[in-house]
Structure 1
Amino acid sequence: MTVGPVEYLVVAFPGSRFTGAIAPALADAVASKAVRILDLTFVQRAEDGTIQAVELDDLDPDDLVSFEPVEGEVSGMLNSEDIRMLGERVPPGSSAALIVWEDLWAVPLAEAVRASGGQVIAHERIPAEVAEAAASAAGHDS
């Protein structure tokens, strides 16, 4: 079974208040079959720096409804050490969604690379600020 590139994103919410604002965009990406959610974890970081994983069942029902349209196989890709390490990036007094997904759009490309005897030797994400600045400098404002 060929797996596309797997990526993760940590989205912090100031004031420890989860918001559903990202859910529609995430649900659209899943519905379009561009990505498959492999893990979705929530953490809270207290003002004293303490990090606590939050189960979906423990979220405020109003916030949980916002995430219901997101379908995928939540498989526990993040272990407790990963959650702790990523949680340390969350500002104190904030909460965060930790999202791991597979780029399904890239599976045919991965299969073609392997079938041709090639191998990926680098795969990095260019920071959004750098890409936006380059596009702006080239006159590709969006």
Structure 2
Amino acid sequence: MAVGPVEYLVVAFPGSRFTGAIAPALAEAVASKAVRIIDLTFVYRAEDGAIEIIELDDLDPDDLVSFEPVEGEVGGMLNSDDIRTLGESVPPGSSAALIVWEDLWALPLTEAVRASGGQLVAHERIPADVAEAAVSAAASASAR
């Protein structure tokens, strides 16, 4: 079974103010078949730095996005040590969503690369602030 690129992100909610407002955007990405959610975990980092992993069953289902895990058991994506390490990036007194997804839109490209004997030699994400600054600078330059 071919798998598209798999990525993760950690979204922190300072003061632990998670309201579920990201759920509709995530649900739209899933419904459009752009991504498949592989894992969704929540953590809380106490003021003293202690990290608590919050089970999905403990959250309000109205604040969540339903997701269909990939067929079979997916192991090794994020284990409890990974979750705790990522949780250390969350500011104390905050909660965070850890989202792991497969880029389904890239699956045909992945298959074509493999079928042609190609191989991936680099894949990096350009930070959002760098990309936004570059697009803004290009827009300003073209407006002159």
2:67 to 64, 71, 82: 71
Alignment partner of 2:139: what SS?
A: coil
Q: For residues 21-49 of structure 1, give each alpha carbon's deviation from its aligned partner in whole angstroms, at most 9, with x where no partner exists.
A: 11000000000000000000000000000
The whole-number CA distance in structure 2 between the counterparts of 1:72 and 1:125 is 25
1:66 Cα deviation after fit: 1.8
- Tell me the residue number matched to 1:40: 40
The whole-number CA distance in structure 1 between the counterparts of 2:66 and 2:124 is 26
Q: For residues 109-128 of structure 1, give each alpha carbon's deviation from its aligned partner in whole angstroms, at most 9, with x where no partner exists.
A: 00000011000000000000
Q: Which amino acid aligns with 1:66?
A: D
The whole-number CA distance in structure 2 between the counterparts of 1:58 and 1:127 is 32
Alignment partner of 2:124: what SS?
A: coil
Q: For residues 38-81 of structure 1, give each alpha carbon's deviation from its aligned partner in whole angstroms, at most 9, with x where no partner exists.
A: 0000000000000010011222x3xx3121x4322175631011
Q: For residues 60-109 of structure 1, give each alpha carbon's deviation from its aligned partner in whole angstroms, at most 9, with x where no partner exists.
A: x3xx3121x43221756310110011000000000000000000000000
Find runs of 4+ consecutive structure 1 residues off by over 4 angstroms.
none
Across the aligned residues of Structure 1 and Structure 2, the Cα RMSD in angstroms comes to 1.7
Greater mean alpha carbon deviation, residues 45-54 or residues 77-86:
77-86
Identical-residue share of aligned pairs (%): 78
Provide structure 2 residue ranges, at least 5 long, that are not aligned to the other structure.
none
The whole-number CA distance in structure 2 between the counterparts of 1:136 and 1:65 is 36
1:17 Cα deviation after fit: 2.9
